[in-house]
């Protein structure tokens, strides 16, 4: 077994590839021979040592994989061997062989590549939880999606299209044509445009009904102000704490100081007639039945051609540091995938 280990908190070069014996599945588990691994920004936050839910360093990062079942635990169904599957892993996914509970291994649709499968679950479940379960998006809603060209952002764009919502998406200018093709009616360049002023202009001063914000800090304050009456904001990340390849205590403190703690309290929310909801998929993984119900709906939409998985680039395991740099430089459109071998 080959695996990627975070040896200490720091830049991408702290990632090390190590070898070890193949794990044996326990009762109720299956073993997956991994063909592709989804990389997520939470992996980078963990590498920097600023992800509170991560295991103690050193550990193997990774939330999602795709591959083939090559063994089952005692009492398991031997007919599962040879099944193409994808699975959430809750850390430990940067391996070429791993074991997961059998219920977490989902058969891969025939029209989904192994690369797409490895990047499907987490971003689509996050977008579904934010838009459908929490914000209750409705036809005609105006939805602001920050980081719209990322994995979660593109998944959210597709779900908004299913619900006939109008999408305002922030991204660098060179990504705007792609976003328009995906269904973003109003791409906004956060580098050169004042997002709040642009939203006010585009909505005739009303604001948006839903805002998805994974940035944190002052961005949460600004997104909250952009909400229309009865608007809902879902926060599901705090990526502004990781602006560069190395951990920055100043960026962490600045982001935390920018959070509108006083605004997000019951009295203020009541007066403003707005809602703020938090989302952490690491904790939702403790309710696999809930996630499987959402995943079944997402797979049904995928089967109907209503959801897509855009794989931006594939790296091999020996290039894992380059893959992390690529994401931190905000160069990707959609998912970045890691493969154990070429």
Residue 172 — pLDDT band, cuts 50, 70, 90? very high
Question: Do residues 309 and 335 lie in contact, with contact meaning Cβ atoms separated by under 8 Å?
Answer: yes
The Cα–Cα gap between 3 and 155 comes to: 28
Largest CA distance in the chain: 63
All structural domains of the chain: 2-120+310-339 (3.90.180.10), 122-282 (3.40.50.720)
The pLDDT, as a whole number, for residue 310 is: 96
Residue 342 has pLDDT above 90, yes or no: no
Question: Distance (Å, rounded) from C-alpha 123 to C-alpha 158?
Answer: 12
pLDDT at residue number 211: 98
pLDDT in tens, 23-45: 999 999 999 999 999 999 999 99
pTM of this structure: 0.96
CA 124 to chain centre: 8
Place of tokens 């005739």: 204
pLDDT single digits (tens) 271-307: 999 999 999 998 998 899 999 999 999 999 999 999 9
- In this structure, is the dihedral angle defined by the CA atoms of residues 263, 269, 272 and 274, taken in order, positive or negative? positive
CA 267 to chain CA centroid, Å, is 31
- CA dist., res. 124 & res. 155, Å (int): 5
Q: Are 223 and 200 in contact (CB under 8 A)?
A: no
């Amino acid at each position: 077994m080959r695996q990627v280990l975070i040896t200490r908190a720091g830049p991408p070069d702290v990632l090390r590839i190590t070898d070890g014996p193949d794990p044996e599945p326990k009762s109720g588990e299956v073993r997956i021979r991994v063909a592709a691994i989804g990389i997520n920004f939470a992996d980078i936050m963990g590498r920097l040592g600023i992800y509170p839910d991560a295991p103690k360093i050193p550990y193997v990062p990774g939330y999602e994989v795709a591959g083939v079942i090559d063994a089952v635990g005692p009492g398991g169904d031997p007919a599962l061997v040879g099944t193409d599957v994808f699975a959430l892993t809750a850390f430990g996914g940067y391996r070429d062989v791993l074991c997961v509970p059998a219920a977490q291994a989902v058969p891969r649709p025939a029209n989904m590549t192994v690369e797409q499968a490895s990047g499907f679950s987490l971003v689509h479940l996050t977008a579904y939880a934010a838009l459908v379960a929490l914000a209750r998006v409705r036809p005609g809603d105006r939805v602001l999606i920050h980081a719209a060209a990322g994995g979660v952002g593109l998944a959210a764009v597709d779900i908004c299209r299913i619900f006939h919502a109008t999408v305002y998406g922030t991204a660098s200018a060179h990504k705007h044509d792609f976003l328009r093709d995906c269904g973003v009616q109003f791409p906004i360049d956060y580098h050169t445009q004042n997002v709040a002023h642009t939203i006010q202009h585009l909505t005739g001063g009303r604001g948006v009904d839903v805002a998805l914000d994974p940035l944190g800090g002052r961005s949460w304050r600004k997104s909250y102000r952009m909400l229309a009456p009865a608007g809902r904001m879902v926060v599901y990340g705090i990526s502004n704490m990781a602006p560069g390849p190395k951990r920055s205590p100043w960026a962490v403190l600045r982001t935390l100081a920018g959070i509108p703690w006083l605004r997000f309290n019951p009295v203020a929310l009541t007066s403003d007639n707005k809602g703020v909801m938090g989302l952490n998929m690491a904790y939702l993984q403790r309710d696999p039945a809930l996630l499987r119900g959402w995943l079944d709906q997402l797979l049904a939409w995928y089967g109907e051609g209503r959801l897509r998985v855009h794989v931006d680039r594939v790296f091999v395991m020996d290039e894992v540091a380059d893959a992390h740099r690529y994401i931190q430089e905000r160069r990707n459109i959609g998912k970045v995938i890691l493969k154990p071998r070429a």
